[in-house]
Amino acid sequence: MSISRRKFLGWIGAAGLSTALGNTAGAASSERFKGYPDSVGVLYDSGLCIGCRRCEEGCNTVNNLPPPERSFKDLSVLDEKRRTTPKAYTVVNRYDSSKEPLYRKIQCNHCLEPACASVCFVKAYTKTKEGAVIYDESVCVGCRYCIIACPFEIPTYEYDKTLTPRIMKCTLCYPRIIKGLLPGCVASCPTEALSFGKRTDLIRIARERIRRYPDRYVDHIYGEHEVGGTNWLYLSEVPYKALGMREDLGVTPAPALTAGALEAVAKVIGLGPVLLTGVYAVTKRSESVAALDKKSAVAAALEKAGEGAQQKFSEALAKAEKDKERAIDKAVKAGVEESGRTKTQEDSSMPPDSTAAEETWATPFNVIAGIIIAVGLILTVRRFTGGLGAVTNLSDYNPWGIWVGFDLLVGVALAAGGYVTSAAVYILGMKRYHSAVRPAILTGFIGYAHELFVFIYDVGRPWRMPYPFIVQPGTTSLLLVVAACTGLYLTVLFIEFSPAALEWLGLKRARNFVVRLTVVLTICGVVISTVHQSSLGALFLIAPSKLHPLWYSPYLPIYFFITSIIAGLSMVIFESTLVYRYFKHKMDAAYLKEKNDVALGFGKAAAFVLAGYFVIKVFGISAGNNWHYLGTGYGIWYLVELLGFVALPALLYAVGVREKNLNLIKWTSVLTVLGIIVNRLNVSLIAFNWQLPSSERYFPHWMEIAISIFIFTLGLLAFRFIVTRMPVLYEHPDYRESH
């Protein structure tokens, strides 16, 4: 495919326009809402609280919540450490001290710049001018990202609801305060431990109490500055840590944690097409210059040698071309004959009628796959009739499980072979890897389809998944970026792979039209994938208080993007090994010839990227000054990931490429893929909420694992169906010259 000067300038102009639009989006994302200065709130004085639970009762009454299992007069519940639930918007916990028991009331703190509202990709949360953070269940999709984001562990989810699961939380009794009434808990408190009023007035009152009783109160108003400030304020006679409160949340508002990533998205969308178009133009120019130089050199040599030599040279070229075609036809014919002999031998050893069906369907793979699908369908019915709680071990401490940590985060990373391979071949001009493009794109398409399936199982109300695009988009949410990229790149992959299907169907015109879009689709795919892969890492920027410091970093988006390249390169090698073993009979001579070159070339690239990633990770530890964590249990596990799954594969790849040891390269690809799995699970599950006691930690239910295997099996069957029927591992004879 050639590129004209006019077309190149046209692409530059379009990319320039997208840059301008991207800058506008970036500016919009940086203009964060900073709360209402005249909003109201509540001041809780823990020194005045007697733990009577009257506030719980008042909250329950005004919000028409179900009655508790144990009466509000039963104070034995204070022996347990409780958190809010869908049936209890507020709870009181007791904490022991050397003098007398201490109490703390837990409820939504109504942040000035709430994390829940910032991350909601359908704007189900609203920060009202009165100060309350309220929730609109009519648009909620049920993704539970708000639970991940909340630094105070407040929102709760109805995991047992099937069709109408909701997020449940304190609303500051918004319907009451807009009528001039007190919140239910404040009205019920017999000791005036709760004071309601303007936030500015409450801060003034709290400071006055601290000034008048300096020996009684800690000289700090909790909530005045924490995470940017909250409308619920605390006074305490003991360090807040003694009341089970986090003192390490910092003062940065939640939206500021992701604002930089959102601005980067706009810049990548704007500048990405420009840069990639420029690289493509340079590549094509280099190819043209090289071809012209070669042609000139040949012409000069022929001119010097004379007409006789020129005729002989032309005859030699023609003969070489015929020999090449003859060799390819011979290899294809031999493969067909070998396949026919095998088929004949198998048919001759079985009865003519029943064996054909048995040979086709009654294989161990098909039997196992059938069992998995049967179990998966049963569990699917259970999931969508009993809610998430019927098949998962998810909780409000662990709202995301292996469907997000493994199926989504790992699956998308391993699907990166599509954009990595197509970029190498079509943008960088590495034509010697062309045979790897279609298998990689097919794997990428199935991987992204897998992600879509997982979304359907994981979100509470999957039929509302289009809401962020057709009802109201939450433009401050990185999850909106992830959802948009999933849909866009799935579409791009479908179009990129469609020539194989169109060749199979014999639709030549449609196929030729799509092929002409190859470079445009590749550029779009690389830009979308860059945004998508990095945004998946950026999802966790909102939770610095929950993710272990060794894994949390402002560079998480960069880490996820780089590791997606590593995953893509390694997955292409790993996949080609498996495909060669099980589908060798479908491969043509070109694929077989290039297979080893792909392994060597991609292994070399992976060695360099892994080495660079190792350096960046070490820099990240230094930038966060987290060296002291390396001596802990989590630190040892981090070193296992860094040394065993990053440094070691980099070394093994380098040795394998240098010695042209293909077996070493293939096994290293397995180790690297395993390392990607470990990394994604560490970030999303193992190192997430690491401070929780073991009793509160997440471990997947067997049904979660079974559903994951079920969805994976569907993808595997789709891959087998397509590879055995469409020209994926071989060039269609009608289009051999056009590839």
Q: Check pLDDT > 70 for residue 608.
A: yes
Displacement of CA 557 from its chain's centroid (Å): 10
Question: What does the pLDDT look like over 141-176, one tens digit per residue?
Answer: 999 999 999 999 999 999 999 989 999 999 999 999
d(CA 80, CA 74): 12
- Write down the pLDDT at residue 335: 52
Question: What does the pLDDT look like over 23-56, one tens digit per residue?
Answer: 434 444 445 556 687 899 999 999 999 999 999 9
When pLDDT is averaged across residues 296-310 and rounded to a whole number, the result is 63
Q: Check pLDDT > 80 for residue 16.
A: no
- 222 phi and psi, to 5 degrees? -70, 125
d(CA 265, CA 258): 11
Rounded percentage of the chain residues whose pLDDT exceeds 70: 86
Q: Check pLDDT > 60 for residue 123.
A: yes
Which residue has tokens 């601005």? Answer: 263
d(CA 515, CA 442): 16
- Write down the pLDDT at residue 17: 38
Q: Check pLDDT > 90 for residue 361.
A: no
Instruction: Name the pLDDT band for 354 (thresholds 50, 70, 90).
Output: very low
- Write down the pLDDT at residue 35: 65
282, two tokens? 């340079």
Question: What does the pLDDT look like over 485-536, one tens digit per residue?
Answer: 999 999 999 999 999 999 999 999 999 999 999 999 999 999 999 999 999 9
Quick count: other Cβ atoms within 10 Å of Cβ 488? 18
d(CA 242, CA 97): 8
Query: Does 97 or 220 have the greater pLDDT score?
Result: 220
- Write down the pLDDT at residue 302: 58
Question: What does the pLDDT look like over 585-603, one tens digit per residue?
Answer: 898 888 888 889 999 999 9
Instruction: Name, in order, each residue with C-beta under 8 angstroms of 17's C-beta and a sequence gap of 6 or more.
Output: none
Q: Check pLDDT > 90 for residue 658.
A: yes
pTM of the model: 0.87
- Write down the pLDDT at residue 3: 46
Instruction: Name the pLDDT band for 99 (thresholds 50, 70, 90).
Output: confident
- Write down the pLDDT at residue 567: 97
d(CA 125, CA 134): 6
In the DSSP assignment, the letter for residue 487 is H
The 232-235 sheet, strands edge to edge: 194-198, 40-45, 232-235
Instruction: Name the pLDDT band for 610 (thresholds 50, 70, 90).
Output: very high
d(CA 365, CA 113): 53
When pLDDT is averaged across residues 341-346 and rounded to a whole number, the result is 43
Q: Check pLDDT > 50 for residue 351.
A: no
- Write down the pLDDT at residue 8: 40
Q: Check pLDDT > 60 for residue 571.
A: yes
Least confident of 12-16, 120-124, 347-351: 347-351
Mean pLDDT of the chain: 88
Q: Check pLDDT > 70 for residue 714.
A: yes
Q: Check pLDDT > 80 for residue 679.
A: yes
Q: Check pLDDT > 50 for residue 341.
A: no
Q: Are strands 194-198 and 125-127 parallel, antiparallel or unpaired?
A: unpaired
Q: Check pLDDT > 50 for residue 355.
A: no
